[in-house]
Amino acid sequence: MHIHGDWFRNADTQSVCSALTEAGYQALFVGGCVRNALLGTVVSDIDIATDATPETVTMLGENAGFKVIPTGIDHGTVTVVSGGIPHEITTFRRDVETDGRRAVIAYADNVTDDARRRDFTMNALYADPDGKIIDPLGGLADLEARRVRFIEDPVERIREDYLRVLRFFRFHAWYGDARAGIDPVGLAAVAENLDGLSALSRERVGAEMKKLLDAPDPAPSVAAMRATGVLSIILPGADDRTLAPLVHAEASLGIAPDPIRRLACLGGEDIADRLRLSRKEASHLASLQSASDLVKSPDVLAYRRSYAIAQDIILLNAALLGQNPNPDDLELAQMGAAARFPIRARDLMPEYQGPALGQRMKALEEAWIESGFQLSREALLALPDES
């Protein structure tokens, strides 16, 4: 069985593989690129596993004229850039011991050991440079059934790295069979091993949660997180009751998923801090949390904040009410976002100066907003000053 795709057939990627194979080493595509190629979805990054040490990969890569970056040299990863495409090349590894947050690793000489230190069977699929699949642990059958299953003993996998708990829910949301539901064995192991979650770094938790909430429908995964007790540890105070209605509302208008909108829907304490959101994400979230009282007039909301905020508030409010969002509200928001106040300060000068000028501008803008952005420049300038 073979994978197909331009992403690995191209000369740039093939020449990275050749640099390894012509020196007698293996070069195997692994992880998301193989999984997604088999599913027929987009391949965004290329991971390659090899039996060459990172030093050897660096030497071979540089000799072949590629830029080599020691991205994760302490866990065996270097990035080889060819034709502008980054290839993350990781030496075969096996887990030796663990502190529960990060597996301590040693290099391995064979692909089966390398497969056994990964998280889920569908993520332990390999392909050689010709695209021929290598499946050391039976991941292919699980992928075909869209079963997200921990490799071997779920409890051991979780205790080696608690981030895998969050990855379990994330991969189920993206690649699992929604009708079959989440693997019950994995779920039981999660529920019995919650202790290590609070020690995870906020950066890792935040990155995982955003990827989970970016899935087309994360609601079943988040419900399972709540039921197992994971949600209240990761996001104390979060409530997923309106998440499924939000996903439904988004779909009804054909609006793409957005992790921050979905976080606003879940709520909870100190979200931005707990998930180490960027400044921009935190400010969007704060706007959604503070703007809900303005929901009656999407045009005003869009004018004052932005179209994106107004759209998100419309969706969140529909979810809260359990109703379909009104497409007319989106149109109003578009109108509000495009509206431009027709008065400039110089139009009011020299009659108005200093603070009085600011006050007059503000009063006219209010009157203009009040009119549904309809009053013309002339009509506004003719308004009597009642202050």
Interface with ligand ATP by CB under 6 A: which residues? 31-32, 45, 47, 118-119, 123-124, 161, 163-164, 167
Binding region for Mg ion (CB under 5 A) out of 20-28, 44-52, 98-106, 347-355: 44-52
Please give the helix or strand (H or E) that residue 105 lies within, else none: strand 103-107
Among residues 139 and 245, whose Cβ is nearest to ligand ATP?
Answer: 139
Alpha-carbon Rg of the chain, whole angstroms? 27
Does residue 245 bind Mg ion (CB under 5 A)? no
* DSSP designation for 94: E
Tell me the C-alpha to C-alpha distance, in Å, between residue 117 and each of 25, 35, 104, 106, 264.
20, 17, 11, 10, 35
Among residues 35 and 305, whose Cβ is nearest to ligand ATP?
Answer: 35
DSSP states of 60-89: HHHHTT-EEEEEEGGGTEEEEEETTEEEEE
Beta carbon of residue 174, minimum distance to ligand ATP (angstroms, whole number): 8
Q: Which of 12, 22, 45, 130 binds Mg ion (CB under 5 A)?
A: 45
**Relative orientation angle of helices 11-21 and 54-63, to the nearest 10 degrees:** 120
Beta carbon of residue 163, minimum distance to ligand ATP (angstroms, whole number): 5
Binding region for Mg ion (CB under 5 A) out of 25-33, 61-69, 90-98, 241-249: 25-33
Pick from Mg ion, ligand ATP, none: which does 123 bind, CB < 5 to 8 A by kind?
A: ligand ATP
Beta carbon of residue 116, minimum distance to ligand ATP (angstroms, whole number): 10
The CA angle 175-184-31, to the nearest 5 degrees, is 35
Beta carbon of residue 130, minimum distance to ligand ATP (angstroms, whole number): 21
Among residues 45 and 130, whose Cβ is nearest to Mg ion?
Answer: 45
Q: Tokens 């969140």 sit at which residue?
A: 316
Give the closest residue to 292 by CA, choosing from 315, 275, 276.
Answer: 315
Pick from Mg ion, ligand ATP, none: which does 119 bind, CB < 5 to 8 A by kind?
A: ligand ATP
Beta carbon of residue 123, minimum distance to ligand ATP (angstroms, whole number): 3
Does residue 195 bind Mg ion (CB under 5 A)? no
Does residue 32 bind Mg ion (CB under 5 A)? yes
Give the whole-angstrom CA distance, residue 200 versus residue 218: 21
